[in-house]
Amino acid sequence: MKSVVRWTGGRTMEGETESGKVTPIYSDTAPSPMEMAIQAHAACSLVDLRVGLKDRMEKAILLAEALGSRVDTKLLGAFHFVHNQQRSGLHRKADIILDGPVAVNTTGLAPNSAPSGPSGNSVGELWLDGRSAFATPVMKIWNGSQWLATSGFQIDDATGSYTLGEQLYFQQDVFPHADNTINLGSPSLRFANIYTGDLHLRNDRGDWTMIEEEDYLSLRDNQTGKTFRLVMEEVTG
């Protein structure tokens, strides 16, 4: 496949295919090279859509709306396509197909946040946000109005803190990342109640286990193996 592009004066050009088809480029009525690149990608996406629809194409009108993110004057980044299918009064809209890889950065700036070309993002667009506030990069998805973490947690972009407004159920053990380094709660943020079986306590001085017997509590010194029964007095009145 071979094509030739000729300069015809000013900024205007024309392209000619091997078979002799001529296309004007960059005139008052013809698209610029970047606009042609976007249109070419959109046309290819419609070809794929047409093949996928096969026999369902009767009376269908297909349209691909294309957005291209310009990285600089000579480079296009991601392409965003919105395909519309109209048929017998039915309008179907499949919001986005992002033709390109997941956006990855460490700046904290969302994809296309400072566009040189068309603005906006596509519903379902993905962004791996690797800003320094996060312990590990966070995968986010654009829902049409905001970027949401795909994990289901609410994440504070400034501090990297995770919040979950639902209950958590664990099927495996839960461990701190290092021994004796982090707290469960704080003096000002306490848990109301703790429900547990035996209670194991250990620091640099002692190692004890509180055991619930049928009618009393006992403490076992895990360093000596000795067990002590707690003497309790019933409170009446």
Average pLDDT over residues 20-28: 91
Whether the pLDDT of residue 67 is over 60: the answer is no
The pLDDT of residue 167 is: 87
The pLDDT of residue 80 is: 57
Distances (CA, A) of 90 to 24, 83, 84, 162: 36, 14, 10, 43
Q: Are 20 and 2 in contact (CB under 8 A)?
A: no
The pLDDT of residue 141 is: 92
The pLDDT of residue 24 is: 92
The pLDDT of residue 190 is: 94
The pLDDT of residue 12 is: 92
Extents of the domains making up the chain: 102-166, 170-237
* Token representation of residue 168: 């958590």
Strands 103-105 and 126-129: parallel
53-62, 143-152, 180-189, 227-236: least confident range: 53-62
* CA–CA gap between residue 127 and residue 104 (Å, rounded): 6
Q: Which residue has the higher pLDDT, 34 or 207?
A: 207
* CA–CA gap between residue 179 and residue 165 (Å, rounded): 28
* CA–CA gap between residue 114 and residue 69 (Å, rounded): 9
Identify the sign of the CA torsion 158, 159, 160, 162.
negative
* Token representation of residue 226: 């000795």
DSSP state of 45: H
Q: Supply the mean pLDDT for the chain.
A: 80
> Nearest Cα to 106, choosing from 137, 78, 76, 77?
137
The pLDDT of residue 49 is: 64
How many C-beta atoms surround the C-beta of residue 56 within 10 A? 9
Q: Which residue has the higher pLDDT, 3 or 38?
A: 3
* Side chain identity at residue 122, one-letter code: S
Whether the pLDDT of residue 85 is over 50: the answer is no
Q: Which residue has the higher pLDDT, 67 or 120?
A: 120
**What are the b/e assignments for 215-234, b being 16+ CB within 10 Å?**
eeeebbeeeeeeeeeeeeee
Q: What is the reported pTM?
A: 0.46
Q: How many degrees, rounded to 5, is the angle at CA 134 between CA 130 and CA 140? A: 55
* CA–CA gap between residue 135 and residue 151 (Å, rounded): 14
* CA–CA gap between residue 170 and residue 186 (Å, rounded): 23
Q: Are 151 and 125 in contact (CB under 8 A)?
A: no
Strands 162-163 and 147-149: unpaired
How many C-beta atoms surround the C-beta of residue 11 within 10 A? 10
pLDDT tens digits along 91-142: 334 443 455 568 889 999 998 888 766 677 878 888 999 999 998 999 999 9
How many C-beta atoms surround the C-beta of residue 67 within 10 A? 21
Whether the pLDDT of residue 200 is over 90: the answer is yes
